[in-house]
């Protein structure tokens, strides 16, 4: 693979000769250039995961929309999660595949800032949406007689809308501050997309403000939803433990086990990404963990829910049987 630093120097006259501070027009994404022999295998692997994740989530959305028995709050939020998973994949993966296949590692400043905004927005939406789904499971298990009344259609639409708006609004201040960064010595981003920490590493601006903002937002947009979710599940588990019959406990736990599994994967992966020390080795592992987060979670979400949801499995079998019946009818 061509060394990105060669490209950087060829652009210096255009971008860097504006004094000590400059406004760049392009960035160079290193991607996984430290593994030149793995470019094609990584492209093949990531392409396969990307295709499977998109098709899996599209299948979940189509099944939920087509089967009236799945027009319930839980599956309404699951459809929103699938739409979000597809959206988050579109933000970063196409550019990653392009870098791996053609070494087209240049990204414009505008595209870079836009990518930051939507990536942070998707993360925020997912956290809030999973918190809403935890509340849905809380009502279903702890207040089942009033579930239909509490989680009516209007409330579900409102909660879903709040999730999307909260994530998109929350990512706006950090994105605006990031767009004001100056880059004096380098435009080479050691990542496969415009990741916020990677941009801070090459910026010559004072990033203390954005670091403070990030900590504050992590409390309100990250820790607060986590605390609400944890509280919901403490109450849910305590209620399940008070159920006398083993069958009743198993049935109650099965209604929230899929969501709980997705939560553990999400928060576990995020801790793996953001709790690493800043060093050259951690930057490499950070890219790999981030790739796993971006590609694997959207793939696992539909698998986890479809494997653990009897209703979704039944709806899928009905759809497959209907399709096979129609194909046989057309054949004859």
pLDDT digits (tens, 9 = 90+) for 146-160: 999 999 999 999 999
Q: Which residue has the higher pLDDT, 204 or 153?
A: 153
218 pLDDT higher than 80: no
Q: Could you give the angle at the alpha carbon of 126 between the alpha carbons of 164 and 42, nearest 5°?
A: 125
2 pLDDT higher than 50: no
**125 band by pLDDT with thresholds 50, 70 and 90:** very high
103 pLDDT higher than 50: yes
pLDDT at 115: 96
68 pLDDT higher than 90: no
1 pLDDT higher than 80: no
- What are the sequence ranges of the domains in the chain? 26-317
pLDDT per position as a tens digit, 142-201: 988 999 999 999 999 999 999 999 999 999 988 998 888 888 878 899 999 998 888 888
Average pLDDT, rounded, for the chain: 82
Range 219-227 average pLDDT = 82
* CATH topology for the 26-317 domain: Rhopdopsin 7-helix transmembrane proteins (1.20.1070)
**Percentage of the chain modeled with pLDDT above 90:** 41
pLDDT at 16: 39
**70 band by pLDDT with thresholds 50, 70 and 90:** confident
Candidate ranges 20-34, 129-143, 183-197, 300-314; pick with highest mean pLDDT: 129-143
pLDDT at 242: 87
Radius of gyration of the chain (CA): 23
């Amino acid at each position: 693979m061509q060394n990105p630093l060669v490209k950087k120097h060829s652009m210096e006259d255009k971008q860097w000769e504006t004094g000590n501070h400059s406004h760049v027009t392009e960035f160079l994404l290193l991607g996984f250039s430290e593994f030149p022999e793995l470019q094609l295998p990584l492209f093949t692997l990531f392409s396969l995961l990307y295709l499977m994740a998109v098709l899996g989530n599209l299948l979940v959305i189509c099944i939920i929309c087509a089967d009236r028995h799945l027009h319930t709050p839980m599956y309404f939020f699951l459809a929103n999660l699938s739409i979000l998973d597809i959206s988050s994949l579109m933000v970063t993966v196409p550019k990653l595949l392009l870098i791996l296949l053609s070494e087209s590692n240049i990204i414009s400043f505008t595209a870079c800032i836009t990518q930051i905004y939507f990536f942070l927005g998707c993360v925020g939406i997912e956290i809030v949406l999973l918190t809403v789904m935890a509340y849905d499971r809380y009502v279903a298990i702890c207040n089942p007689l009033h579930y239909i009344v509490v989680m009516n259609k209007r409330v579900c639409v409102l909660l879903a809308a709040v999730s999307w708006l909260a994530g998109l609004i929350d990512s706006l201040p950090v994105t605006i501050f990031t767009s004001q960064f100056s880059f004096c010595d380098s435009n080479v981003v050691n990542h496969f997309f415009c990741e916020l920490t990677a941009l801070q590493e090459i910026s010559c601006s004072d990033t203390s403000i954005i670091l403070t903002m990030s900590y504050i937002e992590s409390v309100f947009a990250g820790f607060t939803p986590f605390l609400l979710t944890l509280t919901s599940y403490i109450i849910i588990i305590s209620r399940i433990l008070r159920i006398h019959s083993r069958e009743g406990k198993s049935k109650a736990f099965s209604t929230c086990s899929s969501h709980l599994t997705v939560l553990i994967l999400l928060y576990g992966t995020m801790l793996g990404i953001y709790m690493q020390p800043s060093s050259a080795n951690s930057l490499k592992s950070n890219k790999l963990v981030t790739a796993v987060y971006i590609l694997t979670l959207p793939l696992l979400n539909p698998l986890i829910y479809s494997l653990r949801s009897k209703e979704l499995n039944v709806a899928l079998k009905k759809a497959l049987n209907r399709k096979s019946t129609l194909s046989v009818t057309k054949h004859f």
